[in-house]
Amino acid sequence: MIDVAGHYRGRRVMITGGLGFIGSNLAIRLAGLGAEVLLVDSLIPDAGANFFNIEPVQDRVRLNVADIRQPHTMNYLVRGQDVIFNLAGQVSHIDSMKDPYSDLEVNCRAQLTLLEACRHHNPAAKVVFAGTRQVYGRPDRLPVTEDHLVRPTDVNGINKAAGEYYHLVYNNVFGVRACSLRLTNVYGPRQLIRHNRQGFIGWFVRLALDGAEIQVFGDGSQVRDFVYVDDAVDAFLRAGATDAINGEVFNVGGDEPTRHADLVTLLVSLSGRGTCRFVEWPPEKKAIDIGSFYADSARFRARTGWAPAVRLRDGLAATLDYYRAHYAHYVPETAA
């Protein structure tokens, strides 16, 4: 078994995208394990960076506001780091179609810059990349295993696939130990809920909290699997603590495939507010939609002992409780 607690005690760990959703939750957990944590974030507007995300550990982590596309900066920051969790990226599918060049910069050039820095200035570092199920595109079969074709339906998926393969090449050719976790729909506290361009579940949570109408595209029959952020953090920690998965990709998904309609029904029930209405698909979203998707995470479970521990109902309840307590830190007054 992987000794997560023992592995990180006293180790130097860097998290790119450290003020974001998963990065901040990971930082909090690592600080609790006794790691020396460096957060790197570029504070790109409309992305997920939020200083309040690290409020519980702000005196126990270091923060460097930097753009990982800058070689000189990254050459310096990677030095001496034992583990690098590479979570920086552009995750909006719609934004990638509107501005493909910006997506290319963040999801490809930035990844190469980090990996080159490791290759020349810290080749001993272990790098864990935050991949995405979006690289698969529309699935041929369910559940989707890692053997499924990589066939993205949008620019974001293409660039995320390229970023992932850069990590594998640097592992296989240059000896920079790296792996990729293909995450499905991660949700939970500290997720961006200011706007609806970074995943639908955070936006649905926001609408439920506001007592607003939640619009579900189509008939709500599409299926997704969901991973509570604490379980995603556990997956990253396990990946960073073992060399048995270097040079490979792994699905990290939930074990409760759920229809959109049922998700909203549960969310409205738990929040005690909000309504649901089924609407026609917007053409620009329908064009890149992948249909139903849920992943088979058996390979990662077998290699690392990981398994999701938080049920969807419990995770949604905890998420709602978090935002009820801290709503003002995530939704500006002008948008409330």
Average pLDDT over residues 303-324: 98
Question: How many CA atoms, within 13 angstroms, populate the side-chain half-sphere of residue 96?
Answer: 24
With 80 as the cut, is the pLDDT of residue 106 above it? yes
Q: 60-69, 207-216, 282-291: which range is least confident on average?
A: 282-291
* E strands, the chain, in order: 12-16, 36-41, 61-65, 83-86, 126-132, 178-183, 185-187, 213-217, 223-224, 226-228, 249-252, 258-259, 275-279
Which H or E run contains 198? none
Give residue 270's Cα distance to chain centre. Answer: 24
When the candidates are 3.40.50.300, 1.10.3720.10, 3.40.50.720, 3.20.20.140, the CATH number that belongs to 4-187+227-252 is 3.40.50.720
Q: Which residues of 175-207 are buried (b: 16+ CB within 10 A; e: fewer)?
A: ebbbbbbbbbbbbbbbbbbbebbbbbbbbbbbb
| pLDDT for res 335 | 54
**Given this chain, do its domains 4-187+227-252 and 200-224+256-293+309-335 carry the same CATH topology?**
no
With 90 as the cut, is the pLDDT of residue 224 above it? yes
Residue 303: band (very low, low, confident or very high) from pLDDT cuts 50, 70, 90:
very high
With 90 as the cut, is the pLDDT of residue 314 above it? yes
- State how beta strands 258-259 and 223-224 pair: antiparallel
- Inter-residue contact 203 to 190 (CB < 8 Å): no
Give the contacts of 331 (CB within 8 A, at least 6 positions apart): 193, 194, 206
With 70 as the cut, is the pLDDT of residue 278 above it? yes
With 60 as the cut, is the pLDDT of residue 306 above it? yes
Q: Locate the domains of the chain by residue range.
A: 4-187+227-252, 200-224+256-293+309-335
Q: Name which residue leads in pLDDT, 94 or 141.
A: 141
pLDDT in tens, 68-105: 999 999 999 999 999 999 999 887 777 888 889 999 99
d(CA 230, CA 309): 9
Q: Name which residue leads in pLDDT, 311 or 198.
A: 311
| pLDDT for res 332 | 84
Burial class (CB in 10 A: 0-12, 13-18, 19+), 39: buried
Top CATH class, 200-224+256-293+309-335: alpha beta
Q: 117-131, 175-189, 271-285: which range is least confident on average?
A: 271-285
> Is 114 strand, coil or helix?
helix
Q: How far is CA 198 from CA 191, 193, 201, 223, 304, in A?
A: 9, 8, 9, 18, 29
With 80 as the cut, is the pLDDT of residue 334 above it? no
Average pLDDT over residues 286-297: 92
> Is 195 strand, coil or helix?
coil
Most confident option among 27-41, 196-210, 322-336: 27-41
